[in-house]
Amino acid sequence: MKYALTNLLRMGYRNRARIGYWTFTGIVELTAVLFTAVAVSILVIGLGVTIYLLPQASPETAAELIIIVAPIIGLIVAALYAHRRISKQPPAPTLGTESVRSPSEAQPVHGALKGIHLRYQRDYEHWVAATIDDDEDIDSFATAHLEGWRALTGQLPYDLVVEHEAAHATAALVNGVPLVEIRTNPKSLHGHVTPAHKPTNRALPDVAWAMMIVSSASIVFQIDTQKPRYGVDLDTALMLDCAADIVSGGTHPQGYVGPLSIDSLIKEASSRARTALKTHQALFHDLQDAILTHHVLQAPQIRAIAHRHLPGHTRWQDRPDISVNSPLLEGSSLQQ
């Protein structure tokens, strides 16, 4: 109860673009906790009175006491069940026991908060609670991402980690986002894809938009292929934060013509990532093979793979929205 209330208060101002969603979630959970506490108190008092009076009561009185206590027990069971459904965190997949989504769970990304975000709600909530006092930038996200992967050591087959990063890289290259490095570690089972832009440029709508597309690739890949859930909680968090940054800034990213709302931005970014993965499977598999072989790919290797499948994207200079002078390339080795 304390956690839910404090979380709501602390998140209020800094997450005002998402406050409607979090208010609803917090109120539902807080109501379930309070209802359970009140019901348990009533049950304890009722059972005490029943135990005290039942031996000396007439059959009619005993029946009345049972009729009063029975509904209270039913209410408590219902409250506990509701609280369990709200608070339950999806189990992490373990090696050898694939926790794969059923077809009914493989919801489409469309609907954004209702489709993607709710599936990882508890992961995101705990992450926000742990970092709410910090001024986040991409470096802190990367640190948290690394720690998240380390926590899963021994639970994931390495090829799932490779697929995760290959999905990010495919969406990035197809959508004209230059990459400096792709790195995975078969021992610690973590990985990351490093774009060319500076972390401090996330406030720019074009940078935030590019990050949304790249981040959403791992999520749509796992939903569409019904892979085990792994490593996407922070991708979801990053997507949502970038969308909130764009909405609060009030400026459309280049190449995006939809409404400036979190749902619309996530829906479009996810659609572009899904299209990239479906129409460039050869690029995805080439990246996957290269990562499995080398574990670390630097910019020249990434450009060579991109050139085989996306010759017009080799230097990303034909892209009107990713020009050689774009903030996406500022300070990177790809800027010439």
The residue ranges of every structural domain in the chain are 2-87, 117-329
Give the Cα separation of 189 and 125 in Å (integer): 24
> One digit per residue, pLDDT tens: the chain, 336 residues?
434 433 444 444 334 334 444 444 556 566 766 766 776 777 677 666 666 666 666 666 666 767 777 777 777 777 777 666 555 443 333 322 233 332 233 333 333 333 434 444 444 444 444 444 444 444 454 455 445 545 544 456 788 889 999 999 999 999 888 888 899 888 877 788 888 765 556 678 888 898 899 999 988 898 888 776 666 777 888 888 888 889 988 899 988 988 898 889 999 999 999 999 999 999 999 999 999 999 999 989 998 898 888 876 544 433 433 333 333 333 332 222
How many beta carbons lie within 10 A of that of residue 280, not counting itself? 18
For residue 213, what is the DSSP state?
A: H
Residue found by looking up tokens 């939903």 in the block:
223
Q: Output the DSSP codes for 222-236.
A: HHHHTPPP-S-HHHH
**pLDDT at residue 20, rounded to an integer:** 43
**Is domain 117-329 given the CATH code 1.20.58.760 in the classification?**
yes
Quick one: how far is CA 2 from the chain centroid? 24
